[in-house]
Structure 1
Amino acid sequence: MPEYELSRSLLRSGPAASLRINIRAVAQYAIDDGKGKVASDAVDQCLRALEDLDSMLLHATRKDPTASIKSMKNKVNVALGAIDSLLQTVPSPVLDKAKAIADAYRNPNDEEEESKPEDLDPDLKQLEAIL
C-alpha cells in the first residue's frame, strides 16, 4: 500500500521543495535570453502540477477514491514535462555549465571511492522510489 503521508512529506521537503523554490531562478536565465513567456508558463505549469499532486496525496490520506495513483502519476509526468520545457528555454552555455556541474557531482574523482546507490541521501532514495 502506498505511503501517501510520507510521499506528501517528501514532496514538501528535500529536493522537491528545493525545486519549488529554485525553479523561478532557472526561469530567470530564459527571461534574460528573451524567452520569458515560455519559461514563465513552464514554471506555472510545473508548480500547478506539484500543487495538484500535493492535494491528491492529501485526499489519498483521507481515503478519497478520486485520488488515484494513475492521476498522481499523470501530475508527476506533467511536472516533468514542464521542467523539460523550461530547460529548453535556458541558453545553451548556461545549461552546459549546469550539466557539467551536475556530472561532476554525480561522478566523484578517481581518488574518491565511487558512491553506491545505498549511500544516497535517504530523502533522495525515497523520492526515487516514489517516482
Structure 2
Amino acid sequence: MSSIPLGARGALLRRLSHRPPVCSSSSSPPSSSPVTRRSVSIAALFLSTFPSRAASAGSPFDKYVKRKKLEPLETYVPAVLLTQDQFKDLEKYLEMEQPKYDISRSLLRSGPAASLRVNIRAVAQYADDDGKGKLASNAVDQCLRALEDLDSLFLHASRNDPTASVESMKSKINIALGALDSLLETVPSELLDKGRAIAEAYRSPIDQNNESKSEDPDPELKQLEALL
C-alpha cells in the first residue's frame, strides 16, 4: 500500500473524481486554435463599446481586431464632414429665441453624429499609420471632451439651470468643430477632396428640398428635425 496517509489519500481521490472526463472519439475535438471566432466577436464588441480603454491597453490582439473592422479611409471622411454640418446647424438652432435643449441633446446622438466616435477614431488610426498619431489623438480627445461638456450643458439647461448659457454651448461646439478640422488635416488632400465631394452630393437633395419649402416659418428647425 502507498505511504500516503488515509486523510490525504481521501482528498486526492476526491480531486481525481471531479476531473472532467476525457472526450471519446465520437465527440467533437476541441478547437486547436486558441482564438475562436466567438472570442474574436466578443473582443470586437468590447472594442466598439470601450474603444479608448482598449486603445490605451496597447495589446497587439486588440489592435488586430480594430484593424480588421476598419473600412477604407474615404469611407469615414464624408461622415465626419456631415457631422460638422450637423453641429453648425445646431449652433444656428441655439440662436433661436427658445431652443429646446432636450432636442439639442438628442442631436448629439442622432444622424451623422451618432457614429462620430467610431469615425474619428478610425481616421485617427489611419493618421497614426501615417506618422500623425499625436496630432490626431489630441484632436479626438479635444472633440470628445467638448461634446461631453456640451451634453452636460444641454442636460442642465433642460432642467432650467441658469448657469448653462447658450454662449457656453456655442463655445463647446466651436471647440469640437476646430478639433474636427485638425483631425481632417491629417487626411491626404486627394482623399479629403473626394470626401467633400461625396458629402456635397449627399447634402444637395436636402438643400433642394429645403428650398422647395421656403414658406416654412422655421426652416432651421425643420432641418434639425430631419437629422434627428
Check whether TM > 0.5.
yes
Long gaps (5+) in structure 1: 109-113
Report the equivalent of 1:117: 210
C-alpha separation in 2, matches of 1:62 and 1:87: 35
C-alpha separation in 2, matches of 1:77 and 1:127: 21
Report the equivalent of 2:107: 10
**1:116 shift after superposition:** 2.5
Question: What is the aligned length?
Answer: 122
**1:124 shift after superposition:** 8.3
**1:99 shift after superposition:** 2.1
Report the equivalent of 1:62: 159
Pair 1:94 & 2:191 matched: yes
* Kept after mapping to 2: 8 A contact 1:10/1:123: no
Q: Secondary structure at the match of 2:208?
A: coil
**1:70 shift after superposition:** 0.3
Report the equivalent of 1:41: 138
CA offsets 1:44-92 (integer angstroms, 9 cap, x no match)? 1001101110000001111111110000000000000000111111122
Check 1:12–1:106 CA distance in 2 against 1; reply closer, same or farther (3 A cut): closer
Rg comparison, structure with higher value: 2
Q: Secondary structure at the match of 1:116?
A: helix
C-alpha separation in 2, matches of 1:124 and 1:27: 33
Check 1:22–1:81 CA distance in 2 against 1; reply closer, same or farther (3 A cut): same
C-alpha separation in 2, matches of 1:5 and 1:104: 30
Q: Compute the RMSD of aligned alpha carbons.
A: 2.7
C-alpha separation in 2, matches of 1:34 and 1:8: 35
Long gaps (5+) in structure 2: 1-97, 213-219
* Kept after mapping to 2: 8 A contact 1:33/1:91: no
Check 1:123–1:41 CA distance in 2 against 1; reply closer, same or farther (3 A cut): farther
